[in-house]
Structure 1
Amino acid sequence: MTAPLAGRRVLVTRAAHQAGKLSEGLRAAGIEPVEVPVLEILPPASYEPLNHALQHLYSYDWLILTSANTVRAVTERAAALGLSLRDPGPHIGAIGQATAEAARQAGLHVTLTPESYVAESLVTALATRIRGKHVLLARATIARDVIPDALRKIGATVNVVDAYQNATPADSPGRLRAAIATRIDACTFTSSSSVIHLADVARNAGIAFPFPGVKAISIGPITSATLRERGWEPFAEATPHDIPALLAAVLRALA
């Protein structure tokens, strides 16, 4: 029996090491996932700030982890320094269930995970607990300043360190040209960075962005806002803001 969505093709823009779960879900529904990673995770320009922060982790009241990539970068760096993040230390706040799960798998005790995936929800959840506290915020090199700015307004002392940086894989333009040469029905976006990087890849490949006739499926409101800034109105937005809900949004959009 042919799956109802057989023959549909969906662009998956996640980093190669993170695309599996979404691609597998699409495949199970009869959809062909077309993986064009527009992000790859690289070390920060300098490890010195992160090293210093991890070596003085005892001086912080809270460690805020902003993504699963942040968890991976921080725990790998701590291991390289011979440090254990499992010892009693600061409270740990994680943005989103995927981040919290990555932290738990790394053996970390997560104190707080906001109900919503977006960064602003963490600020709201911390509002009554953070005044006068010292906070270490680990994140990508280029990231919004919503969290540190808001925490400082509440009265926290915040140290922001780069745990990793996003880059564009060298083969992305060629892979995108090949993907667009055959019909694409929808394109998934899991972060603002994925929008920005795909737009850059399209420009470098000589491809118009947004892609005409392609449905943009967004993981959440911040990603949707970035899509609109780039002239692409999201066809659907995942709720809650995670990969299973994103997959469900794709299936509904293509039904």
Structure 2
Amino acid sequence: MTASPRVAVFRPDDQRLEAAVELLESLGATPVADPMLAVEPAGSTPRSDADAVVFTSTTGVDLVADAGWTPGDATVCAIGETTAGALRDSGFEVDVVPETYTSAGLVEALEGEVEGARVELARSDHGSSVLVEGLFGAGAYVHETVLYRLVRPESAGESAELAAACDLDAALFTSSLTVEHFLEAAADRGVRGAATDGLNEAVVGAIGPPTARTAESNGIGVDVVPETADFELLARAVLERLQSN
């Protein structure tokens, strides 16, 4: 490990990336900012006749708030505390936040409450099927509105080349899609195999179990998964692991 470890961060190129870079620098790391996600708004809003509306990201919250959408009498559900905080900051009351910040956790929180109810999922085009299948299984009528699409920026891939050259000390994957886009960018640059090998010599952090499973199913060993799906906890845990190596 170098004196100031190189840590790849894949957040979208907005305030989330700026905050991630600032955090890593404050922890003594050299951030490699390589956004693997870009947001393309779909121009849609959730339906207005739902009994419950589920939000799974701060991006979705920001889009509906900017559009002037209101939930009416619907029960407002957030997949985790970060999304719940964004909802509250936008003036929405939050009724349900699961103890476990995952799709399965949200299904568990709602399954006894939604039989016969209309449940609206307001999220990206890459939403997990777990929510749909789980809520259908609980007896809900489920409708999904795609608020935005997540695409890979054309410039993505600097981190893959560094990993391939074994010049990356750590990587922070914040969704399954960041893993998939990293590997696609590596393949486009002709270094997928070498980049995977390089990551397996580095410390790899995944923000939650689904992201870890995606990485591991693609041959990337995961060293750190924080107990709570929170970027700061992920970054701190990875830096602690680096310092102990």
TM-score where L is the length of structure 1: 0.87
* Aligned-partner SS, 2:143: strand
1:39–1:190 Cα change, 3 Å = same
Residue 17 of structure 2 is aligned to residue 19 of structure 1: yes
Equivalent residue, structure 1, for 2:79 = 95
Residue 125 of structure 2 is aligned to residue 137 of structure 1: no
Residue 117 of structure 2 is aligned to residue 125 of structure 1: no
Equivalent residue, structure 2, for 1:65 = 55
Residue 133 of structure 2 is aligned to residue 149 of structure 1: yes
Say whether the 8 Å CA contact 2:32–2:159 is kept in structure 1. Answer: no
**1:46-65 Cα shifts (integer Å, max 9, x gaps):** x4xx34x44xx1x1110000
1:250–1:24 Cα change, 3 Å = same
Give the drift of 1:181. 5.4
**1:139-158 Cα shifts (integer Å, max 9, x gaps):** 11122211011101110011
1:224–1:135 Cα change, 3 Å = same
Which structure 2 residues correspond to residues 57-206 of structure 1 after superposition, within 5 A?
57=48, 59-76=49-66, 78-79=67-68, 84-85=69-70, 88-173=72-157, 176-177=160-161, 183-206=167-190
Equivalent residue, structure 2, for 1:210 = 196
**1:192-214 Cα shifts (integer Å, max 9, x gaps):** 11111111111111223414222
1:121–1:175 Cα change, 3 Å = closer
* Aligned-partner SS, 1:210: helix
Equivalent residue, structure 1, for 2:32 = 34
Equivalent residue, structure 1, for 2:233 = 245
Q: C-alpha distance in 2, partners of 1:159/1:226?
A: 26
Gaps of 5+ in 1: none
Per mean C-alpha deviation after superposition, the further-off stretch among 120-129 and 244-253 is 244-253
Give the drift of 1:251. 1.7
Give the drift of 1:73. 2.4
Number of equivalences:
238
Q: C-alpha distance in 2, partners of 1:193/1:132?
A: 32
Say whether the 8 Å CA contact 1:217–1:234 is kept in structure 2. Answer: yes
**1:5-63 Cα shifts (integer Å, max 9, x gaps):** 8421100011111222322221112111110001100123xx4xx34x44xx1x11100
AA matched with 1:230: N
1:192–1:184 Cα change, 3 Å = same
Q: What's the % identity of the aligned pairs?
A: 30
Gaps of 5+ in 2: none
TM-score where L is the length of structure 2: 0.90
* Ranges of 4+ aligned residues in structure 1 off by more than 4 Å: 178-182
* Aligned-partner SS, 2:28: coil
1:224–1:175 Cα change, 3 Å = closer
Say whether the 8 Å CA contact 1:36–1:176 is kept in structure 2. Answer: no
In angstroms, what is the RMSD of aligned CA positions? 2.0
* Aligned-partner SS, 2:196: coil
